[in-house]
Structure 1
Amino acid sequence: MTIRPILRFPDPRLRIPAAPVRDFDAALRSLAADLLDTLRAAPGIGITAPHIGVAQRLVVLELSALDGVRTYVNPEIVWASAEMARHPEGSIAMPGVTEEVERPACVHLRYRDLDGAEQMEEAEGLLAVCHQHEIDQLDGVFWIQRLSRLKRDRLVKRYGKLARAP
């Protein structure tokens, strides 16, 4: 288990769609363990393999100690509610800035576990937000692309000032 360097915005690799995982083996388990260590060190609540420069469809979430660690291989949203909700979002690839994003309030997700078994999950609230946010990242859609141009430009400017601060 290793803490890996996290790509920082505007690294172009954050915009590359990730490839589906084909091999459910020890290397995948090791990558998932590295993602968890990296997530905890960041700190954050969600991370994808592309965040560390590995273009594979792998997500690790740890919303709280009570919820525990959740690992999703090749996740996809198969249903999203018409009801929308706003929630503050940020990224470990763009630390220090957040903005409210509007997304479907509930989603149904299909994914594989680390053994390759297909799973389904229904999510609402923060978990639904995290699924949508991280699956966007797997698709090469960085979260700020969900903002209006004005909000995105302001956020990028704010992040630039933070990144330059001593």
Structure 2
Amino acid sequence: MQTLIVYYSRTGNTQAVAEFIHAQVGGDLVALETQEKRPTDYRAEVDLNAREQLQNQLPPLKTRIPDFEQYDRIFIGAPTWNMALPQAVLTFLSTYDFTDKTIIPFNTHGGYGAGQMVAQIQAAVGNAIVLPILSVVGGEEINGQLLAIKGQTKEAVAKKVTAWLQKIGQ
């Protein structure tokens, strides 16, 4: 089974979870990056993403996945913004064919959960199999807390990743 772990991370929380997954299942680890630089200010980024959501705009990605068709199992990670996926992740989902693939979503959030993430992924991947999501609290950037998955929290999240992978048979 060929594994791809793709993630979009602003502050490093989703990246940390992606790295925990990678350490346990292997495969290729890929960060999604947009062609144009995104705002560094949290509020400006969330506002831009909200405008993109309202206007159904998908920012072009700099990231390319060569030989995407080789992957059978694809982990997709993202933070929750405006109770939804970041538009950059929707760009990724609209770029590739997920037919006959197993999709495994994971999410970081500031306390509000995954929002519409699973429904958005399911709608984008058609008949692909979508396994249960892992959703963990990351930072609360709106309150100035950026990277929260560190120290004791990092250990707890690593254990949560292990338990989730076992539960979903991965």
TM-score, structure 2 as length reference: 0.29
Structure (1/2) with the larger strand percentage: 1
TM-score, structure 1 as length reference: 0.29
Structure (1/2) with the larger helix percentage: 2
